[in-house]
Every structure is written in structure tokens, then in C-alpha cells.
Amino acid sequence: MKLMKYCISPSKLAWLRKELGKDANGLIAAMDAAGTAYLDNLNASTEPLKSERVSAEAENAIKAKTQLQAQRQWVYLWLQQRIALTTRIDDIELAALAAFEFQHVRIEVVEPSEFDAVVARLQAEPVLGFDTETRASFERGVQYPLSLIQIATADACYLFQHAILGEQFTQLKTVLEDENILKVGVGLRSDAHALKRQWGINVASKLDLNWALAQLGADKEMGTRQLVATLLGTRIDKPKKITLSNWQHVPLSGAQIDYAAADALAALKCFNALITLLTPFYRVSTVPKAAPLIPLSLVAPLAKYFKEVE
């Protein structure tokens, strides 16, 4: 449990490391261990009564005590999970992670002749990874229209490029405005604003993973790199050379295609990982008289996905 990283701001943690020098990691680890031991002690199991014959009143007291203990243990486990999800990973830890990979996923730059068939496939999905790209402008007052929409399923990622599709691009409205399909991504507000402003598309039923982690206590936007590291245990790189490249260019380079696909695929994988991690705590909250653990603001949009996970 990274209590120190969770409770101390990054700037103060950096100052502490500087002041303590080579002993910093050891001291921080000792503080974390002490905090964990203290919380473990609070949740130490109680000894059950050993008498075989007890009164109904005593039996009820035992049950109540056992239920209270079980609930406290879940509260402690929830604290551990919440800290793990909302603690930012430093650059040293990030660099040591394995790269995010998607070799077994099909990536397709959609051609006009394939458009309708791809849209039909997407309409059959309950959840989609979603992202967009826009050509960067280096001139004051010059702003380029949104160039690329990336939509990912579990086994494929489709890249819809305006330079290829032209007016057909706007027909993605049927998928993006479908309230029965959840679109998950990172920093979706700007994407949604651009789609509405430029193409009249109102993205419906969307979940921003930055917002989801904020409901759990993250004090600032996590961003794609942090989310992938936290939820998937891998590293996703964001080279400026690709980020600021010309997304209107036809054809896109291999590096551009991989970069664009990775963002949408990572969003979907992060969502699935988050649901898996949160589901046990959602189920505890559905037990009669159990205190809710997951914030209701997060339960509301996610309840149906918790129920679908076995």
C-alpha cells in the first residue's frame, strides 16, 4: 500500500527524496509498512466463542460481531484498492514497465467501401474504446478540423480518417449517438466538443476514465500514461513527433496508425480492468445493511457492467 505517495503531494515527495538522499526509498518503504501494519491491526480477526451451547441473544451478538468484522475487512480492502488506483506512478517506475502491446488486434484504416460493414459491427458492441486526433497547428489563429476518429473493440481497432471518407465521416453519428453503446476514453470533453462543433455529432453514453478515477479520489487528471500503468501495469509512450504530426496526411504512417490505435485500445482495456477490480466491492455493497463502498456517482453509470462480470 503506497500510503506515502497517496498522502503526500508529488512536490513534497520529491523534496523529501532530495533531503533524505540515498536513504529516502528505505524510509518511505518503512513508513508505508508501518501504516499498513497499523491498518492490519485495526482489522485483526476476533476469536469466536467456543461454547457449543449459547443463548439466542449471545448467538445474535456473535453474528453481529462477525458481520461487523467482515465489513471492516472489506472497508480496509477498499482503502487499499482505492489507494492503488489513485496513486500516481513516478517516471522511474513508468520507465521500468513493459510496453503496451496489441499484436493480436486487427487495425484497419477504414475505406469508403468498407464503411457500412464496419459501422454494423460496431453497433453490435456494448462498449467501445474511443479517441480522436487533430492536426496540430503552429500558427496563431490557425486551427485544423478533427482529422481522425479511432474506435476499438476487444479484437479490432478501426481508424476513420476524414481525408479518406469525406462526408461519409459524419455517418459515424449512428454509433457515437447510440445511447446503448458506452464509449470509453480519456479526456473526452474536448473530443465531444470538436465533434459537435464541426460535424453536428453529439456523443452519447460516454465515460471519461479521468472522471472515473477522480470519483475514487485522484486529485488531478491521471491521463492515458498513468491510467495504462495503473490499470494494465504497462507503459504507453507518447512521442511528440507522432502526437504533433499531420493526421490529415494520406496514407498515415505505420507509427501514426499504431499510436492512434493504441489510445483507443488502451481505453477499452483500462475500462475492462477497472470493472474487474471494482466488481467485488460493488457486490459487497449489494448485501443487505452493508455500507456502500464505491461512490454512488460511479455506481450509477457502471452498475450494469458490474452485473455482467462473473
Residue carrying the nine cell digits 502491446: 101
Q: Residue 19: its pLDDT value, please?
A: 61
pTM of the model: 0.83
Query: From the first residue on, what is the mean pLDDT of each consecutive set of 10 residues in the chain (310 residues)?
Result: 58 64 73 68 51 59 60 85 90 92 92 97 97 84 86 97 95 96 95 93 96 92 94 94 93 96 97 96 77 90 81
User: How is residue 294 written as a grid cell?
Assistant: 464505491
Q: Which CATH number fits domain 106-276: 3.30.420.10, 3.40.630.10, 3.40.50.720, 3.10.20.600?
A: 3.30.420.10
Would you say 293 and 284 are in contact if contact means Cβ atoms under 8 Å apart? yes
- Rounded CA-CA distance 263/245 in Å is 15
**What is the domain partition of the chain in residue ranges?**
1-45+55-86, 106-276
Cα separation values, 70 from 74, 138, 197, Å = 6, 58, 51
CA proximity to 70, closest of 46, 35, 41: 46
- Rounded CA-CA distance 299/278 in Å is 10
The strands making up 182-185's β-sheet, listed across from edge to edge, are 106-109, 156-161, 146-152, 127-134, 182-185, 206-208
